[in-house]
């Protein structure tokens, strides 16, 4: 196991999905279960960050409450960083069933030296919700950013020393923003 924690962000409104996408059926079980299975294979400490604990308590991971009134992934990331016990934290969204890709994780950890965050880039798009963060420095920066405004995680990347890793495979970044997209993900090996 790595000397790092993992957090799955489940605190969004799922507005485009129409219901809590983390609880939607994916291959016969809740989508969050698939995400957690992948994270547990790589990390000793796995946390779920959410606005409320009740729907996620049965998944066997520690649930951390995102107490911010803001609906931004950055507030969930901040809550997860604060609750983590490890010096580095891998973060992914609760609707990304392929995020814990071993090769991607190896590349992110290899690039961490001298940086506060390591973010993959696929097709020129930064992927801050499938990235690696140093707990102490990123927590301080995220807390400061949230105190000023409701901003997204990409603003954090400008506030800390961030390394970007080009990643040709889109699979780790695939997410289920709509029921139709979730159905498409079902067919991916």
Tokens of 133: 């963060």
pLDDT in tens, 102-113: 999 999 999 999
Q: Please state, in angstroms and rounded to a whole number, the distance separating the CA atoms of residues 15 and 3.
A: 35
| Domain-located, residue 24 | yes
CB contact at 8 A, 127 and 74 = no
List Cβ neighbours of 27 (8 Å cut-off, separation of 6 or more): 34, 186
Total domains, the chain: 1
| Domain-located, residue 189 | no
Reference 119, options 82, 84, 152, 71; nearest CA is 152
Q: Please state, in angstroms and rounded to a whole number, the distance separating the CA atoms of residues 66 and 130.
A: 18
- Beta strand 62-65 with 2-9 is unpaired
pTM above 0.85, yes or no: yes
Predicted local confidence at residue 67, as pLDDT: 79
pLDDT in tens, 146-186: 998 878 899 999 999 999 999 999 999 999 988 899 999 99
The torsion of the CA quartet 116, 121, 127, 132, rounded to 10 degrees, works out to -30
Residue 29 lies in domain: 2-184
Predicted local confidence at residue 123, as pLDDT: 96
Predicted local confidence at residue 105, as pLDDT: 98
- Beta strand 130-134 with 88-93 is antiparallel
* Residue ranges in the chain whose pLDDT is less than 50: none
Q: What is the CATH number of the domain that holds 179?
A: 3.90.550.10
Predicted local confidence at residue 130, as pLDDT: 98
């Amino acid at each position: 196991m790595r000397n790092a924690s993992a957090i799955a962000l489940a605190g969004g409104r799922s507005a485009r999905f129409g219901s809590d996408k983390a609880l939607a059926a994916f291959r016969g079980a809740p989508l969050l279960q698939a995400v957690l299975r992948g994270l547990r294979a790589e990390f000793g400490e796995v946390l779920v960050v959410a606005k409320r604990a009740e729907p996620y308590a049965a998944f066997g991971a520690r649930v951390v409450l995102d107490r911010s009134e803001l609906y931004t992934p950055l507030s969930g990331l901040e809550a997860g960083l604060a609750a983590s016990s490890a010096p580095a934290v891998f973060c992914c969204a609760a609707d990304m069933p392929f995020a814990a890709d071993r090769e991607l994780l190896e590349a992110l950890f290899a690039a961490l030296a001298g940086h506060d965050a390591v973010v993959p880039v696929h097709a020129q798009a930064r992927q801050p919700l499938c990235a690696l963060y140093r707990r102490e420095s990123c927590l301080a920066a995220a807390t400061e950013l949230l105190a000023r405004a409701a901003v997204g995680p990409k603003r954090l990347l400008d506030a800390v020393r961030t390394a970007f890793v080009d990643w040709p495979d889109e699979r780790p970044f695939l997410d289920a923003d709509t029921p139709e997209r979730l159905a498409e993900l079902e067919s991916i090996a």
